Structure 1
Amino acid sequence: MPQRRVVTGRSQEPRQRFAEELRLLRAEKGVSLRELAERAGWDPSLFGKMENGHTLGGPEVVQALDQYYGTPGLLLALWELAVADPTQFRERYRQYMVLEAGAVSMWQYSPSVLPGLLQTPEYARELLRRGGLTGDELGAQVEARVGRREVLLGEDPLQLRAIVSESVLRTPLRNPGEWRGQLEYLDMMARGHNVTVQVLLLSAGLHALTNTDTIFLRGVDGQTVAWVETGYSGELVQETATVERLLLRYDRVRDLALSPDESRQFIERMLEEAPCEPST
């Protein structure tokens, strides 16, 4: 088993360091990308994108490479550092925003908060404030998030399907009046011809996307990409085979959710239960 390399002396940028290690290990093995794919599994194009730094891949892919190269835990540790790097997160999110602006359809599963495109300014403000934003930066981020909703309007709007966990609708804002306004806005949007909202009840139990906020975007060229986000980072997934696996998981979650009509009725029940007066 090869010894672990000392990180010092090589790239100190996490994503570049990860890609560099992948290239070095394959060179030491003396195998092509196609040979690597045949022996370790997965698609050769994915390994090529990972070695070029275009994508990080997923933990399952990295674990398979660790096993193939005989470096237990090394690549996975480097991958975790690259995923958690805030600079790379901002760049990946910037790429996602460009793709969102040009998308013709979107599918999303939200386990913990309402989808950004369906948030009121009050909901966005409280959520971003809880995340640590203040002052002018908070105001700018709220304005940017609300501005994104324009893709759902106009003559040729984005087609959106949003599956939200029941827990999202049972986690109110601090101000009851603002929470009622959010529920009313969600109910109104769910009645639009281009927006479909489905509620996944807690009684549905565990599923393949339990802790993962997942978004799929389809562009005018028909290509679909995914944005997968956890509580600490996000990843833009463009490799076809990986996107297809995520889509299969999404479809299974959709099968567990209430129908659109049942979901609107659920939202209306939440409205009936919501207090009318703002907190003092």
Structure 2
Amino acid sequence: MVRRKDIDGSISVPDFYGKELRWKREAAGLSLERLVEGSFYGKSHLSDIEHGKRRMPMDLARHVDRVLGTDGYFERHCDDVRRARRGPHAEYFEKALEAERYAECIELWSPSTFPGLLQTAPYARALVQSAHPAASDQEVEEKVDARLARARLFDDNHHMPEYWAILHESLLTDPIVAPDEMAAQLDRIVELTGRRRITPQIVPRKCGAYPLMVASIMVMTFPDAPPLIYTEASYSGDTIDDPALVRQYRKAYDRLRAVALSPDTSLAMIKSAAEDYRNGRQADRLE
């Protein structure tokens, strides 16, 4: 019989349930491969859950309960793990935040602001202050620092996702920060593109109707889990894993990519806009 190891109740909630999962799996005499067999997930995904690095999706929790005969234990505690906060990010963003760390490919459409992973500190600060006008300076800086920390993803040579960002032209022409800060924000896009960390595309203002006009979405695919879609509004967000909806969003994103300008043309526009801001010219004269 497997002897149960003491589980430290003071550790984080994801760590606690990860250790509990490992103990129950080993008590049942199952390998990682055997436990995920018949699910849509890989053994690396389950291993990360056992080490407290990832949170267990509901469908995997149900699968684990069924295989281990744990009478719904992990399904019941999925919400406990989901509610365990990891820093100053919005609660609704937690699942997407975790997922982007493990994504093989991230494809994003952002029509109204530069995506969080691409933002500079002044740009992020302006957005945080506009969304949380009553927040203290300390709270604002905590949120800004947390957002900038996500960008370390682009410096991880061991795991760096393919990142595709489709942006609306208005992001280049309608500044929300001072001209020198807008130039620095655009330079950040250029720098990441030059390092082959991202591929940007621009949807021009005058292209007529196009897919996903009223939605901001992130499409994430993984080597060991089903794809996810994340959609966001000002104070809410939703992570979608329903296969039919994922396919529908996926097709819409591909059609949007066809509407956008080529990466080379888009990069030239971004560089030109950055120079305009540096030289005091109006960015809307790009055309």
Is TM (by shorter chain) over 0.5? yes
Measure, in 2, the Cα distance between the counterparts of 1:90 and 1:175.
27
Q: Which residue of 1 aligns with 2:273?
A: 270
Shift of 1:254: 0.4
What is the aligned length?
A: 191
Q: Which residue of 2 aligns with 1:204?
A: 207
Shift of 1:195: 0.9
Shift of 1:276: 4.4
Superposed, which structure 2 residues align to 1:244-259 within 5 Å? 244-259=247-262
Shift of 1:164: 0.2
Q: Which residue of 2 aligns with 1:135?
A: 137
Shift of 1:177: 1.3
Shift of 1:90: 4.4
Measure, in 2, the Cα distance between the counterparts of 1:174 and 1:221.
40
**TM-score, normalized by length of structure 1?**
0.64
Shift of 1:100: 1.4
Residues 122 and 90 (structure 1), Cα distance of their counterparts in 2 relative to 1, 3 Å cut: closer
- Sequence identity, in percent? 28
Shift of 1:252: 0.6
**TM-score, normalized by length of structure 2?**
0.63
Report SS of the residue matched to 1:226: strand
**Kept after mapping to 2: 8 A contact 1:107/1:217:** yes
Residues 97 and 174 (structure 1), Cα distance of their counterparts in 2 relative to 1, 3 Å cut: closer
Superposed, which structure 2 residues align to 1:91-130 within 5 Å? 91-130=91-130
Question: How big is the alpha-carbon RMSD for the aligned residues of Structure 1 and Structure 2?
Answer: 1.9
Q: Which residue of 2 aligns with 1:213?
A: 216
Report SS of the residue matched to 1:162: strand
Measure, in 2, the Cα distance between the counterparts of 1:182 and 1:273.
13
Shift of 1:143: 0.4
Shift of 1:222: 4.9
Report SS of the residue matched to 2:123: helix
**Kept after mapping to 2: 8 A contact 1:108/1:161:** yes
Measure, in 1, the Cα distance between the counterparts of 2:233 and 2:166.
16
Deviations 1:19-50 (CA, angstroms, capped at 9, x unpaired): xxxxxxxxxxxxxxxxxxxxxxxxxxxxxxxx
**Kept after mapping to 2: 8 A contact 1:152/1:159:** no
| Counterpart residue type for residue 209 of structure 1 | L
Deviations 1:242-272 (CA, angstroms, capped at 9, x unpaired): 0010010001110000111000111112123
| Counterpart residue type for residue 217 of structure 2 | T
Residues 110 and 188 (structure 1), Cα distance of their counterparts in 2 relative to 1, 3 Å cut: same
Measure, in 1, the Cα distance between the counterparts of 2:235 and 2:212.
16
Superposed, which structure 2 residues align to 1:1-280 within 5 Å? 90-132=90-132, 133-155=135-157, 156-276=159-279
| Counterpart residue type for residue 131 of structure 1 | A
Residues 141 and 259 (structure 1), Cα distance of their counterparts in 2 relative to 1, 3 Å cut: same
Shift of 1:194: 3.1
- In the TM superposition, structure 1's runs of 4+ consecutive aligned residues that sit over 6 Å from their partners are none
Report SS of the residue matched to 2:97: helix
| Counterpart residue type for residue 136 of structure 1 | Q
Shift of 1:159: 1.2
5+ residue gaps, structure 1, are: 1-53, 56-88
| Counterpart residue type for residue 154 of structure 2 | L
Report SS of the residue matched to 1:208: coil
Report SS of the residue matched to 2:220: strand
